[in-house]
Amino acid sequence: MAWRFQASKFKNTTPHVPKKEDTIFDLPIGNLCCSNNGIQASGSYLAFHVEGEGGKLGALPIGTKGRKLRKDISLVCAHSDQVDDFCFMTFDDDLLVTCSRDDSMKIWRLSGEMAKPSLKCEVCIGHGMLLDAMKPHTTASNLIAATSLGNAFIIDIEHKSVVAQVDGFSDKGYSLDWSEDGKLLAVSADRGRQICIYDVRSAISPLKKLDVHQGLGRESRVLFCGGRLLSSGFTSKRTQEVIVFDAGMWDKPIHTQEYVSTTGILMPLYDPDTKLVFLVGKGTNKLFIAEFQSKVPYLSPVYEMSMAEQNLGACLGSKRCVTVMDGEVDTLYQLTRHSIVPVPCIVPRRSYRDFHADLFPATRGPKAGCTSDEWLAGSDALPAKISLAPNTSNSKSCVSPSLHITSAENCLPRVTEKEVSVSIPESIVKSASRPRAQDVLEAMDTGKISVSDNMDTYQAKPEVHELVYTVHDISEKENEVRNKVDSHHKQAEVLPECQKTELSSSQQRSIVSSTEPVVPIRLRQLNKGDEVSGQSLSARVRPKSCVVGQVASKFRHVELKTNGAVFTNLRNVNTQLPLETNGACASGKFIAVPLKGPAGIVGVYDVKKPEKLPDGVMDGIFNKALVTDLHWNPFDDEELAVGTDVGLINFWHLTTDDGPRNEMQPVKVLNMGGNKVLCFQWHPMASDLLAVALSDNSIGICESKTLARRTKIVSHSAPVIALAWSSDGRRLVSIGKDLMLNVHQPQLSDECLIAQKKVLERGHSGRLLYACDDRVIVIVGMTRSSSRQVQLFDASSLHEIHTQQIDSGTQPLVPYYDYDSSVLFLSGKGSRIINMYEVCYDPPYLLPLTPYVSPCIGQAIAFHNKKMCDVMAVEFQRAWRLSEKSIEQLVFRVPRVKKDVFQSDLFPDALVTWRPVMTADEWLAGSTKTPHFESLKPDGVSALGDVLKVTSVLSTALSSAAALPKSVISEPKSKPAVKLEASLQKAEDIWSAKIKDHTLEQDVMEGVSEEEWTEAL
């Protein structure tokens, strides 16, 4: 059945950010205002824009690393005006071509260690012909195409003349590209709204005109990708858009996809050997990797990456320069304000000791298929291909002029600091023959086989264990600090930083040995006093996968399904809510959506009956004031709390049998003294208790049952913008517009501030939450440059342990954290993307998951609790995505082949968030009850761990029987045999239950009658 699953070899291609010493930094690049890609690479040199001198380019040899100042780079003084475009010739790594508005095209030859430029020739197209973009020919030497206003020229740089000219497009040509066989030329014009396809040897008018993007962008891109044509531009709403055409069907596109709303173009780069497309967001920090395939979706997403710095330009390096023995299929050069970052794109493999020929097919070599004269005469000869395999005579080594030829050691795989630990048995007993399973079972039934109590004397199959995090005990000093914090009422400064345990070299690197078992990696451990429900919060093992020596999340290939549940015909969605609110919320029965209008209307919809909403006035509950925040009671699916800007919190009791809700009244109203309700959060363990942030900079602990404020906390000097409880309900954290993070322990009375630290760079907006068993505080905020970022702080010391830039935008990212899987979901208002990361307490801290890109812009996302998931379908979260016209259900799944067993590795005992642990009075009295956990495994279903355990016992029994001497077989021992027989019987019962029908497909087929055989004979 393997033919059904023909997965691509490059679907797991991963870009690896290099260390700073492997980049080129401190370059004088600055802010660019060019309309080209900003950087170009050949097999020998890099050329790029430099700051402040539009007519000059910088040049460096391939392989350059480290700090390079202006005096350390070679400057190509190309033109007196700004360089409009530049490129290297396809079949000459040393020739650099530039064009500008001074009417001339110049060809430069770079040479030597410093890439010293010398002017080879200059081609004058004609007076007033301003060249905008260029592209060298893909099969012929010395040919290059250039666009101008309404025209495109084919230029022979050897003869310094224009050999062909085409026209037929309006405005200037922003981009152009040759097909892979060199027959067709595509020009993107009219600000990206039109593409013209030419056969320049047959006609000067276009063969086909394609209407593509609707937006008026300052830039556009067109790119031939094998038998496909890709166009990058903008929609009418200023959203990045990619459209793909099939070269044989120009009538309509075969794929259309929208990305991020921004002003920067997506710069497409294509590798014909792997069929990978790299989409680099200009002016953003986004990198999208996709792959062309022969079925829907024709452009399949592979990886999305948030770069550390803003992209000013990008290009792909020569295929002849990749490090094949590291699995590097491509090198992407990123141009930033101060550096050039070579990003290797690596396909994970278990070992790189051997050359993986399936990843590196023969690629085009440096020799042209024909000359310019031959191509103009009609030749379509293709360049000869070369092998990338090491130590082959026809493969050309890519060596920088400034570097010596490397030794054979460079072809060996690189050894990283941390290696995968695999447990190996002490010895492997080689048996001459292996008995059949049936013979072993018969021998066990007759009592001829006995198993010794010490099973270690017999050898089984080697087992590969999960990468399990175990940890050191914390120091006595840290325990004293925590006890002091719990007993003290207020501490104005930040808590002392925890002592960090340093690992010895023997612990950091696991050594595979044939005589000693492998010791698990030991990292950290929390205080033993933090146990919850008989087990410590930190003792919850969240297994990871190990891919090529790197820790990866088991959820990294998450799939999102829409499930067909959608509310359509939605109208009047409130898109101007305060930044402190999430915009929508869901319970086990309903989803609540704020609607437009001064009356504070909230639409409530039954999640079990998705439908087209009726026309007319939208029904909903009227709060008679502007809505500022709303949340469902986590312990009551029918109670909705709505905060308003007049200082009231309305509590609504809603059922599926309600009539017109516009006539309903709230069952309770909590008066907060006239102060505007900014945001509030229900307590995660105590019933009828919530924390409310008010406009007078205070936080109130209120009880909804008695409608009383039980505690008032004043710790911020500016309004609070976000609140969050710890999972045990003992700590309350808040951030305010004073840029401070405050940690409270409200059970200590009003004076309960125990820690404080400045964490925000900008008080515009923010969110925070506890993660990793309350050991980490996650803060999602924005920088002064409108970059959206995630910060991780140690919950005990408030020490910042990690910061990661996500993207750029004007609206804040709204986080949601799933405690059981430790997955962090990030979505923003007006965005199509849901970014997901698994949060862990140890490096790399944020493990990326496959992001989800929706076809339409979203306003909010509301998540259900864990109880709503169908665990047998491997669902670990469910949510509703709100747009301006619909509410769509999203199902987050992990792809697994065997869905008939409970995936216990993905679903540990779940934190109970749908049932209270205590009452509000008990919590206010100082109760320290611990959270409850509950298994999600359905009754009558086998767990994956049990099946694997039984299978391991069966394999061990068979291996042990094969290794037993005859003398041992003749001496029966009853007890071990009975235990083993019981395990084998359990394994047989489990698998027999799965096989309900023993009928083969051919058993029910009818053959021809005997008479037909006789007639044929």
Q: What is the pLDDT of residues 770-792, one digit of tens each?
A: 999 999 999 999 988 888 999 99
User: Which amino acid does the sequence have at 559?
Assistant: E
Instruction: Give the whole-angstrom CA distance, residue 104 versus residue 548.
Output: 50
Cβ contact 720:735 at 8 Å: yes
Number of Cα atoms under 13 Å in the Cβ half of residue 673:
13
Domain parsing of the chain, residue ranges: 13-374
Residue 735 tokens, joined? 């951030």
Residue 869 tokens, joined? 């998931």
Residue among 851, 815, 811, 807 nearest 833 (CA): 851
Residue the block writes with tokens 């290297």: 88
Indicate the pairing of strand 255-261 with strand 266-271: unpaired
State residue 121's pLDDT score.
Answer: 87
Average pLDDT over residues 698-705: 94
Give Cα separations from 87 to 198, 313, 834 (angstroms).
21, 13, 36
Residue 3, pLDDT above cutoff 60? no
Ramachandran assignment for 597, one of left (phi > 0), alpha (psi -120 to 50 degrees), beta (any other): left
pLDDT band at 388 (very low <50, low <70, confident <90, very high): very high
Structure pTM? 0.53
Angle at 864 between CA 862 and CA 870, to 5 degrees: 135
Average pLDDT over residues 924-934: 91
Average pLDDT over residues 913-929: 92
Residue 992 tokens, joined? 């027999």
| Rounded percentage of the chain residues whose pLDDT exceeds 70 | 76
Q: Where are the alpha helices (DSSP H) in 608-733?
A: none
Residue 451 tokens, joined? 């198993």
State residue 113's pLDDT score.
Answer: 82
Residue 651, pLDDT above cutoff 60? yes
409 CB-near residues (< 8 Å, 6+ apart) = none
Residue among 224, 273, 264 nearest 246 (CA): 224
Cβ contact 256:243 at 8 Å: yes
Instruction: Give the whole-angstrom CA distance, residue 417 versus residue 419.
Output: 7
Residue 720, pLDDT above cutoff 70? yes
Residue the block writes with tokens 């050309």: 396
What single DSSP character describes residue 141?
A: T
Tens-digit pLDDT profile for residues 346-359: 998 888 888 999 99
Give the architecture (CATH level 2) of 13-374. 7 Propeller (2.130)
Residue 975 tokens, joined? 């007890």
Instruction: Give the whole-angstrom CA distance, residue 278 versus residue 288.
Output: 6
Cβ contact 351:338 at 8 Å: no
Instruction: Give the whole-angstrom CA distance, residue 594 versus residue 684.
Output: 24
Average pLDDT, the chain: 80
**Partner residues linked to 49 by β-bridges:** 57
| Strand locations in 621-730 (E) | 621-622, 627-632, 639-644, 648-653, 668-671, 677-682, 689-694, 698-703, 708-714, 720-725
- 507 or 557, higher pLDDT: 557
Cβ contact 565:889 at 8 Å: yes
306 CB-near residues (< 8 Å, 6+ apart) = 285, 286, 287, 804, 805, 806, 807, 835
Average pLDDT over residues 445-468: 38
Residue 964, pLDDT above cutoff 80? no
Residue by residue, DSSP assigns 711-743 as: EEEE--SS-EEEEEE-TTSS-EEEEETTSEEEE
Instruction: Give the whole-angstrom CA distance, residue 677 versus residue 630.
Output: 10
pLDDT band at 263 (very low <50, low <70, confident <90, very high): confident
- In this structure, which long-range contacts are made by residues 356-359, counting pairs with CB atoms below 8 Å and at least 24 apart in sequence? 356/324, 356/327, 357/389, 358/9, 359/9, 359/10, 359/274, 359/324, 359/327, 359/329
pLDDT band at 546 (very low <50, low <70, confident <90, very high): low
Per mean pLDDT, which range of 22-36, 38-52, 526-540, 987-1001 is the poorest?
Answer: 526-540
Helix (H, G, I), strand (E, B) or coil at 578: coil
- 659 or 110, higher pLDDT: 110
CB burial readout 591-600, b (16+ within 10 A) else e: bbbbbeeebb
Residue among 290, 292, 268, 262 nearest 280 (CA): 268
Residue 470, pLDDT above cutoff 80? no
| Rounded percentage of the chain residues whose pLDDT exceeds 90 | 49
Residue 594, pLDDT above cutoff 50? yes
Instruction: Give the whole-angstrom CA distance, residue 644 versus residue 602.
Output: 12
Instruction: Give the whole-angstrom CA distance, residue 914 versus residue 635.
Output: 5
| Strand locations in 850-904 (E) | 852-858, 860-863, 875-882, 887-893
pLDDT band at 988 (very low <50, low <70, confident <90, very high): low
pLDDT band at 152 (very low <50, low <70, confident <90, very high): very high
Cβ contact 275:292 at 8 Å: yes
